Each structure stands twice: as structure tokens, then as C-alpha cells.
A and B are shown apart, each in its own frame.
Chain A
């Protein structure tokens, strides 16, 4: 008979180890996310000479040489305009379709409601590269290729599930009695929505719109496949920065990342709310 000696570990020791693990994980994740952003920002705000120099400076010199060169780089202005146009269209389309869907999900019981919610999420299950070729062929046939609205449609498909889920949680958070009270006080369904629900849901809907904007702004694959002349900023950078000097890459990267970061930061409260609901 072999006696297995189990050495009991003191509870405080375990707790301490757990704390260390937690702290280490938090630091690791933060560095993982923050370090590239930091390097990007520092290098974008340094002069072209400093970017290639060594050792690196910890604080940027706030030289806008790289950025101004990037802005004046041929085609950047046009690509930037395309990005804003496509992102704005995506924003309008996803809220235009997503908000009514979210409202219906939160207020009505209809056959297939569960399936519908599932299918909304399922649209995210298909990898875009898989769809890109048939999509490109279809777009060329219908004449949607290389247009802002065509790309916006694809981006709307990507953004729509989030728009539906955010607005669903938003409308669910507004008591149905408020709407019913408005009906008894003389409102039609539409008036009640406009006078009571909309003012209460507006901040969240704006957040959902900004999120859709950001998804479109960051999307590169569909943009690269479906546009040739009317490149968005991401697709343009993917195409042209491969051969550009390092400082230009940093400036381009910063120009892409910083707006997206600011947008997401502005609407973080509503995104947490969405995930809180989606986790249930």
C-alpha cells in the first residue's frame, strides 16, 4: 500500500497566489492591448528621422512631420472621404434596420422569435473571406462593385447584429408601461414611440450608430476586395503602405486607430449593457 501524502496548502497562500495570477493576467492583457497603441502614437507623433533612429524616445517629440506627410500623400484625402462616406451609410443603414428589429424583439412576441435572435447572431458565423468571391461576382453583375453603397451594404451586414442587440437591450430597459401610458393619454403607437421611447433611447441609439460607424471604419477585407478606384482608408493603406517608409505606416495606422478608439471609448457604457443582456 502506497501512502500518498497530500500536503495541504494554507488558504492565505492560495489566495495570495490567486491574487498574483490575477494581477499578472491584468498586466499582460493591458500590455498586449496598450503597447502597440502606445508605440503607434509615439512613432506617429515623431519626426521621420526619429522613427528610424535608436534608442527610442519614451515621450514623442510631437513633431507632425510624419502626419502631415501622410495627409498630403496622394490619394489619402480621397480614401479618407470614402471611409467616412461608407461608414456614415453603414451607420444609417444599420440603425435604420437594426432599431426596428430591436424594438420588435423587445416588445412583440411572434413565432420564431428565438430563431430570429439566433439567426441575427449567426450572420457573424460565416467568415467574410468565404463570402467575398461570390459577393464580388454578384456585385459586379449588379453594378454595385466599387461603389460606396455596395461596400456599405456589406458593412451593414457586419454591423447589424450588434445594432439589433444593442437596441434590443435598450428598448427592453424602457418599461412598456411608459408606452402604454402614452397610448392612454392620446398617442398612437408611432406618436408614443416618438414622444416617449425615442427621447429615452436616443443616447443608446447614438452609441449603437457610432459602433456601426467604427465597424465599417475598421473593416479592411471586404473593402479591399470590393473596391478598386473608390478605396476606403483601410483598403488604401493595405495597398499602398506595404512599400512606404516606416514613419508613413505609423502615421497611417494612427489615423485609423485613434478615431476608432475615441468612438468606442465614448460609447463603452452601452456596449457593456449589450453584452450584459447577451450573456443571459
Chain B
């Protein structure tokens, strides 16, 4: 059992606050992805859990044990680094065996575990090689095998796929998911790649400027962003936002369209919709087509709505030309509303 609890953890570097009192609980065997743009504090948070960075305040608990004062070696973790950190002076075998030898496991056990994890990562033919004789993808496999061989309670991964080329990344992503699910460890995985996050995670914690904005399942994060930032960061193309004004009868006017919306004492809020959640029809938002990008299965249409950009993903057979006037009808159950001041969902 290795539940991870991060309680009120903050980190300041001099005058700069990298993390603002972050709270996050990760269930046993859960795959949690920390997602955010570079500089959002996700790697700092991971390094605090690993013990490579000391929090300025707050507590870290792993498996019911407070660990924030313990060195990395006593935390029951294993880590995979972005640049792999495969020891160049040791063979692949000795790299994978490194942590096991530190634990002073008997030689047969070391050999059994190295062989098993090497087979799992398909690198059993590379065991006698040195890091300099390996490709990037192979080094990545060695780094993962080295972490798995420890049979840790928790595996921490810091952008492990970001140095691989696109095709290899796709292949490793699927493989990692399978291997980690089978290993039954709790995983924290840091990435800036939303596709990677969506495909791997049980839950995603979206981070922005040193705070966790939302921690939820991939579908929840995508469908019900807790804040404007989540909607604009996740999804490609991102969510569309249009200002909404309250009418006398309590409904909201969005680009000339009257929509029932949330009860709010604010006079102006924001209407939001994902590009794929609109249909071109006889009624809806007034839009003027600016750019048309046929993408095969569908067509990405960039329009002007109320003087702002609005992206819509429409059927690829739709006969649309630049300059056309469209009516885009939002799907009622997919409309989201945001408070422009707090940027939180209403």
C-alpha cells in the first residue's frame, strides 16, 4: 500500500514562489499525471516527493509514513529522469542491478530481477553493453528497467518520453502504460504533453503558476474544466470563450444568442464551448469564416464571433468558403460558464 499525500507543500526559491501550498492525494496504484506548461512547478513538486528538493513548508506522506525529512533512499521510491541518467561507466546489467546491490540482495536474486525487468522492457540482448552504445530509446528502456527492478512502492517519472522522437514516443507510451499497470506501483508522471497525459493517466493534476488548478480523470478535465486555464490549456484546438451579458429575464446573451445559464449576481460572465461541440445550422452564434483547414476526418474552421477568434470542428463534407456567414449552434449539454474575475467554472 503506497498512498501518497502531499499536504500544504510550498516551495520558494529566494523571492520566487515555485509552489503555493499544494494539496494532492494519490491513491495506491493510481497513475497520476502532473500536467502543465514549463515553469508551472510540476517538476519541483515531483522532486519534493522524491526528496531531491526540500519543501519550504508542508508535509509529504508515502504509505502512511511522513517522509519529507527522509533522504531519497529511505522513501521507497524509484525515479526515471528526463535525460535517462544511465550510468555511463557501468554495463546495462550493472545499471539495472545498481539499486539491488545497494540493498545487498543475494546474487541469484539480483540476476533474477535484472533478467525479469530486462525481458519486460525488451532489452535482454543489451545487458552487456554500455550506455554509450545505446540509442535514446534503449537508454530510456534501461532507465525504466532500473526503476522497476527496485520493486518500489512509488515510481516517479520526470518527462521520460520528451527526448524521444514522435514514433518512438507513441510506442513507449503504450508500453509504459502496460508495464506500470502490471507492476501495481503508484506512479507520478510529469509531462507538458497533454496527449501523453490523457492517454496514460488515471487522474490528471493540471498545474498553473505553482498551483494545482484541477485534479480529476482525463475525461472530467476535458469535459468539465474547473477553471478557464484548464479549458484553454487542454484540447487542441483549445476551448472557445465568448463574453456573455445578463438579460432582464435572467438568461445570458452570447453573440446575439439568448441562452439559459447559471444563476449569478455578476452582470458579465464567460461562455465556453469546445470546437467539436458546435453544429453548423440555421440558428446559433453568428460567425464569419476566416480560415478553413481540412484535416481529413473533419475540417477546422476559424471564424470571427463577436470580434474574437472562434474555432469550430465541422464535418469534412461541409461546403464552406472563406467569408461565409455561418450560424454555429452549441450543444446545450456541452456549454460551460466561467467567472471572468476568479476564472473558476460556474
Which residue numbers of A lie inside 8 Å of B, CB to CB?
175, 177-178, 180-188, 191, 195-196, 199-200
Minimum C-beta distance from B136 to chain A (A): 15
Binds A, one of B33-41, B70-78, B287-295: B70-78
A-B contact pairs, 27 of them (CB 8 A): A175-B83, A175-B85, A177-B82, A177-B85, A180-B81, A180-B85, A181-B81, A181-B85, A181-B87, A181-B146, A183-B51, A183-B52, A183-B72, A183-B73, A184-B50, A184-B51, A184-B52, A184-B73, A184-B156, A185-B78, A185-B98, A186-B99, A186-B102, A187-B102, A188-B71, A188-B73, A191-B102
- Whole-angstrom CA separation of A196 from B82 in the bound complex: 18
Minimum C-beta distance from A216 to chain B (A): 30
Say if the beta carbon of B6 comes within 8 Å of chain A: no
Q: Which residues of A contact B85 (CB under 8 A)?
A: 175, 177-178, 180-181
- Taking A182-B87, A183-B52 as known contacts, 20 extra A-B pairs with beta carbons closer than 8 A to each other, sorted by chain A number, are A177-B81, A177-B83, A178-B85, A180-B50, A181-B85, A182-B98, A184-B50, A184-B72, A184-B73, A184-B77, A185-B98, A185-B99, A186-B99, A186-B102, A187-B73, A188-B73, A195-B98, A196-B87, A196-B89, A200-B88
Q: With A175-B83, A185-B73, A185-B102 given, is the CB distance from A200 to B146 under 8 Å?
A: no
B89, A200: Cβ atoms closer than 8 Å:
yes
A178, B52: Cβ atoms closer than 8 Å:
no
Within residues 83 to 101 of chain B, which ones have a CB less than 8 A from any CB in chain A? 83, 85, 87-89, 98-99
Encoded as 1 (CB less than 8 Å from any A CB) or 0, chain B from 61 to 79 comes to: 0000000000111000111
Minimum C-beta distance from B146 to chain A (A): 7
Q: Which residues of A contact B103 (CB under 8 A)?
A: 186
- Whole-angstrom CA separation of A178 from B99 in the bound complex: 13
- Whole-angstrom CA separation of A195 from B89 in the bound complex: 10
Say if the beta carbon of B150 comes within 8 Å of chain A: yes
Within residues 135 to 156 of chain B, which ones have a CB less than 8 A from any CB in chain A? 146, 150, 156
A181, B73: Cβ atoms closer than 8 Å:
no
* CB-nearest residue of chain A to B149: A185
Q: Which residues of A contact B71 (CB under 8 A)?
A: 183, 188
- Whole-angstrom CA separation of A175 from B81 in the bound complex: 11
- Whole-angstrom CA separation of A180 from B47 in the bound complex: 10
How many inter-chain residue pairs (CB < 8 Å) link A and B?
58
- Whole-angstrom CA separation of A177 from B85 in the bound complex: 6
B102, A181: Cβ atoms closer than 8 Å:
no
- Whole-angstrom CA separation of A261 from B98 in the bound complex: 41
- Whole-angstrom CA separation of A158 from B89 in the bound complex: 33
Q: Which residues of B contact A199 (CB under 8 A)?
A: 89
Q: Which residues of A contact B51 (CB under 8 A)?
A: 183-184
Q: Which residues of A contact B82 (CB under 8 A)?
A: 177
- Whole-angstrom CA separation of A177 from B98 in the bound complex: 15
Minimum C-beta distance from A167 to chain B (A): 18
- Whole-angstrom CA separation of A199 from B90 in the bound complex: 10
- Whole-angstrom CA separation of A188 from B99 in the bound complex: 12
From the candidates B79, B83, B89, name the one contacting A184 in the complex (CB within 8 A).
Answer: B79
B89, A185: Cβ atoms closer than 8 Å:
no
Q: Which residues of A contact B98 (CB under 8 A)?
A: 182, 185, 195
Q: Which of A175, A177, A186, A195 neighbours the largest number of chain B CB atoms within 10 Å of its CB?
A: A186
Q: With A185-B146, A199-B89, A200-B89 given, is the CB distance from A180 to B52 under 8 Å?
A: yes
Encoded as 1 (CB less than 8 Å from any A CB) or 0, chain B from 204 to 245 comes to: 000000000000000000000000000000000000000000
* CB-nearest residue of chain B to A185: B99
Encoded as 1 (CB less than 8 Å from any A CB) or 0, chain B from 49 to 65 comes to: 01110000000000000
* Closest 8 pairs (CB-CB, A-B): A186-B102, A185-B99, A181-B85, A177-B85, A183-B72, A184-B79, A186-B73, A199-B89
Minimum C-beta distance from A228 to chain B (A): 48
* CB-nearest residue of chain B to A191: B102
- Whole-angstrom CA separation of A269 from B329 in the bound complex: 70
* CB-nearest residue of chain A to B99: A185
B150, A185: Cβ atoms closer than 8 Å:
yes
Minimum C-beta distance from A28 to chain B (A): 41
Minimum C-beta distance from B68 to chain A (A): 15
- Whole-angstrom CA separation of A195 from B150 in the bound complex: 18
Q: Which of A175, A185, A196, A200 neighbours the largest number of chain B CB atoms within 10 Å of its CB?
A: A185
Minimum C-beta distance from A274 to chain B (A): 21
Q: Which residues of B contact A200 (CB under 8 A)?
A: 88-89
